[in-house]
Amino acid sequence: MEQTITVAPIPEGWRIKCSAREHDVSFRSGAEAEATAHSLATEIAEAGDTVVIEIFLRDGALGGRYVHAPKARDRTPAR
C-alpha cells in the first residue's frame, strides 16, 4: 500500500499530514517538520508500505518529493 506524508506551511509554522495517522502534527521549524516526516516515512516503510513525502514551499509550490520504499523481505522459506 502507498502512504502519503505532506509537509506544508501554515501561519504558525509547518504541518505534517500523514495518510497512515489520524492527527496532523505542527512544527515551528520547517527543518524539524521535514526531519520528522522522513523519520515517520522510514518507520512506515520498515512496516512494509511505500511512502511518498511531498514538501510544499511557502508560496504553495512543490519544493520536493521523496519516496521511501519498503524494506525487501527475505523470501527464503523457513526450515
- Other Cβ atoms less than 10 A from the Cβ of 35: the count is 13
How would you classify residue 36: left for phi > 0, otherwise alpha for psi between -120 and 50, otherwise beta?
Answer: alpha
Q: Are 17 and 9 in contact (CB under 8 A)?
A: no
Write out the chain's pLDDT in tens, 79 residues. Answer: 899 999 999 999 999 999 988 899 999 999 999 999 999 999 999 999 999 999 999 999 999 999 999 976 655 555 5
Determine the pLDDT at residue 20. Answer: 86
pTM of the predicted protein model: 0.85
| DSSP bridge pairs for 8 | 15
Secondary structure of residue 61 in the 3-state scheme: coil
Q: Are 42 and 59 in contact (CB under 8 A)?
A: no
